[in-house]
Amino acid sequence: MAEHKILIEKIKKLKKQKNAVILAHNYQRPEIYDVADFIGDSLKLCLEARETDADIILFCGVSFMAETACILNPDKKVIVPFIDAGCAMADMLSIEALRKMKKAHPGVPVVTYVNSSAEVKAESDYCCTSANAVEVVRRIEGDKVLFVPDRNLAGYVGRQVPEKKVIAFDGYCPVHDMINAEYLDDAIKTYPSAKLIAHPECRQEVLERADAVRSTSGMIKAVQEMDAEEFFVLTECGMIERLKREVPGKKFYGLCNMCFDMKKNNLESVFRCLEDEGPKVKVDKNVASKALLSLENMFDIMEDHG
Ligand code: 13P
Ligand code: SF4
């Protein structure tokens, strides 16, 4: 513990010296929360990355998040403790597979979940996050969209926006897709009065039973507002610690799995990364400028529709 305290102080001092900001996803280890300037879901972190005037962005999350920060800040240094911390869902969709899908549905706009590579974003019309996917799809003109790479989020969006046909790529998050209805039924018996809060990357059979479906940061707001004391949290396990810190008066039970790539970072690796100013995240200039358009189309929809 004393070692942690010393490292936290060293990281804070280095951040000041180097004019660096630390952005951390909600699923990070709790020790990372203690040095982060901003903790949030993908949307909040995109917005913070877009606003910051720091010279260095140290991203604690997975690679698509750091790449997004890089696309939004082509002139800044974006660094990560582990360059190989990836997202299994993002890795399921290759650029070739997306091109094939576009060829089979000519002229249909492509909405790409932010959990995707920079190359895939560059081939897309709109980006979205779990917090705004429904609104983005609802606001696009036309009656069809291609939605990649998450089939579960695509299905959820399609049920919320029935006036549009949502054509999904068959990708998924193994961490969320593993939670099934049977697993849920057994757990509910132990705490029957607990409400269910689910991430939209979960399967339909899980989402249909949930009392609220939210992005990770949306979960914090939902439990603060809901008139209940106990919750089952259906997402990555790190969210439980985050909820306990943000909403200390309520109880949280995990029906969750671990995303190991999200757990790679710790205080030592953050300190090393800041000291070395690397590894540095790189996105090809051409790819970044095309991917930026899909992100800007998302921001435009959000700005036009609050
Ligand atoms: P959020 O944007 O809701 O934080 O989700 C990101 C993610 O990777 C969930 O698995
Ligand atoms: Fe990707 Fe799933 Fe991990 Fe989120 S939890 S970063 S979607 S593998």
- The CATH number linked to 52 is 3.40.50.10800
Q: How far is the CA of 105 from the centre of ligand 2 (A)?
A: 28
28 lines ligand 1 (CB under 6 A): no
Is ligand 1 within 6 A of the CB of residue 26? Answer: yes
The predicted-structure confidence for 275-285, as pLDDT tens digits, reads as follows: 999 999 999 99
* Residue 58 CA, ligand 1 centroid: distance in Å: 18
Residue 61 CA to residue 288 CA, distance in Å, equals 19
Show Cβ contacts of residue 138 under 8 Å, excluding neighbours closer than 6 positions.
160, 161, 164
**66 and 15: one domain?**
yes
Supply the pLDDT for residue 39. 98
**Structural domain of residue 37, as residue ranges?**
2-87+262-282
Q: Is 202 a pocket residue for ligand 2 (Cβ < 6 Å)?
A: no
pLDDT digit string, tens, across residues 122-166:
999 999 999 999 999 999 999 999 999 999 999 999 999 999 999
Let me know whether 29 and 44 are in one domain. Answer: yes
- How much is the mean pLDDT over the chain? 97
Q: How many domains does the chain have?
A: 3
CA 169 to chain centre: 18
Domain match, 113 and 97 both: yes
- Same structural domain, 80 and 16: yes
Residue 41 Cβ < 6 Å to ligand 1: yes
DSSP structural state of residue 140: S
pLDDT of residue 306: 63
106 and 153 part of one domain: yes
Region 61-68: mean pLDDT is: 98
Atom of ligand 2 at shortest distance to CA of 235? 5
- Ligand 1 atom nearest the C-alpha of 215 is 3
Closest Cα to atom 2 of ligand 2: 173
Looking at the predicted structure, is the pLDDT value of residue 305 above 90? no
C-beta 124 within 6 A of ligand 1: no
Which of 84, 89, 203 is the best mutation target for the ligand 2 pocket, counting ligand atoms within 8 Å of the beta carbon and taking the most?
89
Nearest to 80 by CA among 288, 284, 292, 265: 265
The predicted model scores a pTM of 0.98
- Is residue 20 within 6 Å of ligand 2 at its C-beta? no
Q: Name the residue of 65, 156, 215 whose CB sits within 8 Å of the most ligand 1 atoms, as the mutation to test its pocket.
A: 215
pLDDT by residue (tens digit) across 162-221? Answer: 999 999 999 999 999 999 999 898 888 999 999 999 999 999 999 999 999 999 999 999
What per-residue confidence (pLDDT) applies to 195?
A: 97
Q: Residue type for 138, please?
A: R
For the Cβ of 179 lying below 6 angstroms from any atom of ligand 2, the answer is no
74-122 pLDDT, tens digit each: 999 999 999 999 999 999 999 999 999 999 999 999 999 999 999 999 9
pLDDT higher than threshold 80 for residue 230: yes
Asked if 31 and 81 sit in the same domain, the reply is yes
Say if residue 167 is in the same domain as residue 291.
yes
Q: How far is the CA of 276 from the centre of ligand 2 (A)?
A: 27
**pLDDT above 90 (res 1):** no
Q: Are residues 149 and 7 in the same domain?
A: no
Q: Are residues 147 and 290 in the same domain?
A: yes
Q: What is the pLDDT of residue 2?
A: 85
Q: Can you say whether residue 67 is alpha, beta or left, with left for phi > 0 and alpha for psi between -120 and 50 degrees?
A: alpha
Q: Are strands 77-79 and 251-254 parallel, antiparallel or unpaired?
A: unpaired
pLDDT score at 20:
98
Same domain, 299 and 152: yes
For residue 153, what is the enclosing H or E element? helix 151-160
From the CA of 130, which ligand is nearest? 1
Confidence of residue 304 (pLDDT cuts 50, 70, 90): confident
Q: Are residues 8 and 75 in the same domain?
A: yes
In DSSP terms, 155 is beta-bridged to none
Residues 6, 83 within the same domain: yes
For residue 276, the model assigns a pLDDT of: 98
pLDDT at residue 151, rounded to an integer: 99
User: Does residue 87 have its Cβ closer than 6 Å to ligand 2?
Assistant: yes
